[in-house]
């Protein structure tokens, strides 16, 4: 697919981020702001249709966009603590979906699923002893 500099700029911003971004955040990070938010949004919708990106509704009910590396059907995991996402190039739901079809009478043609949890790094820092003491938020003071 031939990309305009505008679309390349959006893809670069998505590629450089390990977290999903809102339309506003993408626009802010673009080196050349040749167009406004509505154009960025239209391009993002187009990427989603073409499978280059996906929209993720976060646990905070905010819609963000993430770049897709896989060209196949896949899912994204998102860390509830740091917001980092990971892509799993697999589904694993095929059997359950066939059962759902039998139960519902529907022919299921598509599904979306985002999995939320704690990433490996946040799990490690959540281990006892690694945690910040209560009330000790913010600045670290060197002694
Ligand atoms: Zn994706
Ligand atoms: Zn995390
Ligand atoms: Zn799937």
**pLDDT value of position 4:** 81
Q: Which residue has the higher pLDDT, 60 or 106?
A: 106
pLDDT at 85: 94
The reply to whether 111 sits in an annotated binding site is yes
Over the range 52-64, which residues count as b (16 or more CB within 10 Å of their CB) and which as e?
bbbbbeeeeeeeb
42 band by pLDDT with thresholds 50, 70 and 90: very high
Predicted TM-score of the model (pTM)? 0.79
Give the pLDDT confidence of 3-29 residue by residue, as tens digits: 788 889 999 999 999 999 999 999 999
Could you tell me the CA-to-CA distances from 122 to 12, 23, 82, 131 in Å, in that order?
26, 26, 7, 10
Which one of the ligands is nearest to 71 CA?
1
Residues with CB under 5 A from ligand 1 (ion): 54, 68
Mean pLDDT estimate for the chain: 87
Could you tell me if 26 and 63 are in contact, meaning their C-beta atoms sit under 8 angstroms apart?
Answer: no
Q: Which domains does the chain have, with CATH numbers?
A: 5-125 (3.30.1490.190)
Is 91 annotated as belonging to a binding site?
Answer: no
- Find out whether 76 is annotated in a ligand binding site: no
The percent of residues above 70 in pLDDT, for the chain, comes to 87
């Amino acid at each position: 697919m031939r990309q305009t500099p505008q679309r390349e700029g959006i893809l670069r911003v998505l590629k450089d981020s390990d977290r999903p971004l809102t339309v506003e955040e993408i626009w802010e990070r673009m080196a050349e702001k040749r167009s406004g938010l509505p154009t960025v949004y239209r391009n993002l919708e187009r990427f989603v249709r073409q499978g280059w990106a996906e929209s993720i509704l976060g646990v905070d009910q905010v819609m963000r966009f993430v770049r897709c590396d896989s060209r196949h059907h896949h899912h994204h995991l998102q860390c509830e603590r740091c917001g980092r996402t990971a892509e799993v190039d697999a589904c694993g739901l095929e059997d359950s979906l066939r059962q759902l079809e039998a139960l519902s009478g529907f022919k299921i043609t598509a599904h979306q699923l985002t999995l939320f949890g704690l990433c490996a790094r946040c799990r490690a820092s959540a281990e006892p002893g690694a945690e910040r003491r209560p009330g000790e938020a913010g600045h670290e003071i060197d002694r």
